[in-house]
Chain A
Amino acid sequence: EPEVTQTPSHQVTQMGQEVILRCVPISNHLYFYWYRQILGQKVEFLVSFYNNEISEKSEIFDDQFSVERPDGSNFTLKIRSTKLEDSAMYFCASRHPSGYEQYFGPGTRLTVT
């Protein structure tokens, strides 16, 4: 069964460094999302992406964040200058145009020290 994959599974970085989290959505899906979950808190929406542009973003998704679909398969989330409070599990998701449900990847645990 097709699935969303994410790399790396765990990323440790120092405050102020740039990180890129990578996702490979399911191949025939056209809608892509990033969410994050700070330990012990809710899963929070960051951004949605369709037709090579951002369709919706939350207040969390400020100028430090950016997303890109650099080729036909990858979907990336970049954090330009990481802060301690960016430490969280980041989930990528994708959706087929005909369905309601989003399919999630296993997540990348980001630790900022």
Chain B
Amino acid sequence: GNSVTQMEGPVTLSEEAFLTINCTYTATGYPSLFWYVQYPGEGLQLLLKATKADDKGSNKGFEATYRKETTSFHLEKGSVQVSDSAVYFCALSVTTGNQFYFGTGTSLTVIP
């Protein structure tokens, strides 16, 4: 079947630290991969996406590379800020227009 596994949280980092949130997937087809972010009290916002193998999605200093050989889409940021504190969700879609499959979400807190 289709599923996404994310690293367990919560994650607490100091400002300017390096962030990695692991995401691996299983898919019956050839998926598109996404990272969504949810700030406190807000909805899910698309952070970045990649639609084919070796694509790198990037936005706001965050990056993730679609690795078909390891079925992974790890989220990274070189230097986190307090404003990055949020919950991060990895997701996949196997067929355009059909449902998204989400991971459990990883809560990130960045302290000054």
Chain A interface (Cβ < 8 Å from any Cβ of B): 4, 6, 31, 33, 35, 41-45, 48, 50, 55-56, 58, 91, 93, 95, 100-107
Mark contacts of B23-35 with chain A using CB atoms, 8 A cut-off: 1 yes-contact digit, 0 otherwise. Answer: 0000000001010
Asked whether, in the complex, the Cβ of A100 is within 8 Å of the Cβ of B43, the reply is no
Within 8 Å by CB of A100, from B41, B93, B101, B102, lies: B93
Closest to B4 in A: A42
Closest to A30 in B: B97
Kindly list chain B residues whose C-beta atoms are within 8 Å of the C-beta of A6.
43
Chain B interface (Cβ < 8 Å from any Cβ of A): 32, 34, 36, 41-46, 49, 51, 89, 91, 93, 96-105
Give the distance in Å from the alpha carbon of A106 to the alpha carbon of B45 in the complex: 9
Known: A100-B32, A100-B49, A101-B34. A4 touches B104 (CB 8 A): no
Within 8 Å by CB of A42, from B44, B98, B102, lies: B102
Give the distance in Å from the alpha carbon of A22 to the alpha carbon of B51 in the complex: 31
Closest to B33 in A: A100
Within 8 Å by CB of B43, from A33, A41, A56, A91, lies: A91
Give the distance in Å from the alpha carbon of A113 to the alpha carbon of B69 in the complex: 47
